[in-house]
Amino acid sequence: MAEATEVRGAEQSKNTVTIKDAQGAQTAVAQALSVLNEFYAKAAEATSFAQTGVRKGKAEPEIFSDEPYTGMGAESGGVVGMIEVIQSDFARLEAETSAAEAEASKQYSEFMDDSKVDKTQKSADLDHASASKQDQETQLQEKKVDLEGTQKELDAALAYYEKLKPSCVGENENYDDRVAKRKEEIESLKEALRILNGEDVV
């Protein structure tokens, strides 16, 4: 948007100068045409006076015609015609530049409106994404704390398991040895029970 504004400003300045110059040129050309038309009118009038009448009874020389001299102004390709073409060129330049300026201004306004809408949407998306990121970072931190606590509990349970393992499983004992020991333990307990009950020990 900043770049478009800078380009548009330069373009508008250039178009303004071009239109102003074209208008000034048209004014100058119109004044020149007025001066030339006035000059040729006076020239025709002066020539007309000079060519009329007979000089001391003599006929006019053949070089004088019945038509007064009006100069080269009205002829095709004459000075007046050339200046009128220049005037029309400046008028066309002003019209084309004004139309181009209006179109460029319209496109710039549409671009800025679209860009503002797009910027607003992107800002809303960014705010939403930032809030979502913050929530996820908070959840991640909480889960890290939970993981650390769970890991500590697991480590304590494994340590306790390793402590109880020898008494529950026994070290380097096979299944038959453990069964035999359990039978002996059971028999010893039965004998102790009989003694407590006052029965004779066999």
Element spanning 62, H or E = none
Terminal-to-terminal C-alpha distance of the chain:
108
Distance CA 22, CA 18 (A): 6
Q: Where are the domains of the chain?
A: 2-141, 145-196
Rounded to the nearest integer, the mean pLDDT of the chain is 82
Structure confidence at residue 76 (pLDDT):
42
DSSP β-bridge partners for residue 55: 58
Mark 91-110 as b/e (b = at least 16 C-beta within 10 Å): eebbeebeeebeeeeeebee
Residues 121-176 have pLDDT tens digits of 999 999 999 999 999 999 999 999 999 999 999 999 999 888 887 776 655 667 88
Q: Are 72 and 79 in contact (CB under 8 A)?
A: yes
Share of the chain above pLDDT 70, in %: 79
Six-digit token string for 199: 């029965």
User: Is residue 37 scored above 50 in pLDDT?
Assistant: yes
Are the CB atoms for 41 and 73 separated by under 8 Å? Answer: no
Which tens digit of pLDDT belongs to each residue from 40-81?
A: 788 777 655 555 544 555 555 555 445 555 555 455 457 888
For the record, the structure tokens of 93 come out as 């330049």
Would residue 175 be called left, alpha or beta, if left means φ above 0 and alpha means ψ between -120 and 50 degrees?
Answer: alpha
Encoded amino acid at 13, one letter: S
- Per the CB < 8 A criterion, the answer to whether 170 and 178 are in contact is yes
Q: What is the mean pLDDT of residues 9-23?
A: 92
More confident residue, 81 or 14: 14
Model confidence, pTM: 0.45
- Using alpha carbons only, what angle is made at residue 118 by residues 116 and 122, rounded to the nearest 5 degrees? 115
pLDDT computed for residue 39 by the predictor = 84
Q: pLDDT value at position 166? A: 73
Classified as helix, coil or strand, 15 is helix
Question: Which residues make Cβ contacts (< 8 Å) with residue 79, sequence separation at least 6?
Answer: 36, 72, 73
Higher pLDDT, 118 or 43: 118
